[in-house]
Amino acid sequence: MRYIQQGNIPHKRHTVFKSPEGNYYYEQLFGTEGFSGVSSLLYHIHRPTQIKSIGTPKDVSPKIAIEKNVTPRMFKGGKIQAEDDFLDSRKILMVNNDLMMGLAKPKKSMDYFYKNGHHDELFFVHEGNGTLKTFVGEIPFAAGDYLIIPRGTIYQMEFNTENTVLFFLEAASPITTPKRYRNEYGQLLEHSPFCERDIVPPTFVPPIDEKGEFLIKVKKDNLIWDFIYATHPFDVVGWDGYFYPYKFNIKDFEPITGRVHLPPPIHQNFEAHNFVVCSFVARMYDYHPLAVPAPYNHSNIDSDEVLFYTEGDFMSRNHIDLMDFTLHPGGIVHGPHPGAMERSIGKKSTEEYAVMVDPFRPLKITEEAMKIEDPTYLTSWLEE
């Protein structure tokens, strides 16, 4: 992440800062890992601590159907039910101690504010467009955008289209760019498949100076609490630092290619503790005269593999629909479907787009996932 400064801030941090009318502004440190991680400083018109009440929590713990899984599975994301409410629409399909992931189909914009106090969030916009509104500014989004929202960010989602589909992931650790693509100063290197120009921070908007009752739903330890605050949370007059939400479009990922088939780490886009996120994008195929573009059979000994299919025809799979998820568990060999290897030989390019998540601890399968499973996937590699 790079340093950003927006709005009005004082010359020195932790010093008196007043409005033109002579009223004090109130400083807030926004960051993680105590005082040693990345952070930003926000300046509010009102104290951001004015709680009026806290309601009874709602338990949103995912219900686990399968604790230990060794079965290759396909989940039909198109069958997930849309919901009016943004939070109700988030259907968690797979989970472990490091992350939760699933699909959301919200039908209405949020009329409340939300803060995940426990997890960083990643959204991939499969369909629809709108605006992510936060206390440090706004980010317009459309299909193909990743939205990275650090824990603690207060936000609203505004949707401009009737059909919105979001792949989402909640991480128990910060979601960052891969370390191997950064130098010792944090700058993305020349051989990185993307650069800082591709990372879009929020656009600053004028603060909202309002008093009243403002509902912020706060998630912590799989409980959602209704906090009522006395002032509008988007009253920030300025901020600076390294800790903020941003977007990245999958079509700004520049693929790495070679003469022969290269392994999945070349597609890596993000990482966190015990998992990585990769972007499969349109690219030229391998150019050795005898190259086999389809991936070779491989065993994920140390990780599960989840693919979410978002655009195009994924060349290594048969009978895949957009919005499908496939899960290949660690320790079980998998590879291209029958005929896929043969079809790939001689091909020059692909137009496929998919999001891949590789967790390094096994995933548990939820009841929501089992409602939309295609049981025929297990035997789909059998030759006729």
Q: Where are the domains of the chain?
A: 254-379
Does residue 221 have a known ligand-binding role?
Answer: no
**What class, spelled out in words, does domain 254-379 have in CATH?**
mainly beta
14 has catalytic annotation:
no
Does residue 119 have a known ligand-binding role?
Answer: no
pLDDT of residue 325: 96
* Contact (CB, 8 A) for 331 and 264: no
pLDDT of residue 168: 98
* Contact (CB, 8 A) for 348 and 286: no
Strand pairing partners for 312? none
Q: Which of 261, 267, 273, 319 is catalytic?
A: 261
> C-alpha angle with apex 58: 359 to 65, nearest 5 degrees?
45
The span from the CA of 241 to the CA of 68, in Å, is 42
pLDDT of residue 134: 97
The span from the CA of 352 to the CA of 159, in Å, is 26
Does residue 334 have a known ligand-binding role?
Answer: yes
H helices of 12-112, in order, are: none
Exposure pattern of 257-266 as b/e (b: 16+ CB <10 Å)?
A: eeeebeeeee
Which residue ranges of the chain lie beneath pLDDT 70?
A: none
pLDDT of residue 301: 84
pLDDT of residue 300: 79
Parallel, antiparallel or unpaired: strands 211-220 and 113-116: parallel
Tell me: the pLDDT tens digits for 262-307?
988 999 999 999 999 999 999 999 999 999 988 889 887 889 999 9
pLDDT of residue 195: 95
Cβ-count burial of 93 within 10 angstroms (0-12 exposed, 13-18 middle, 19+ buried)? buried
Radius of gyration of the chain (CA): 22
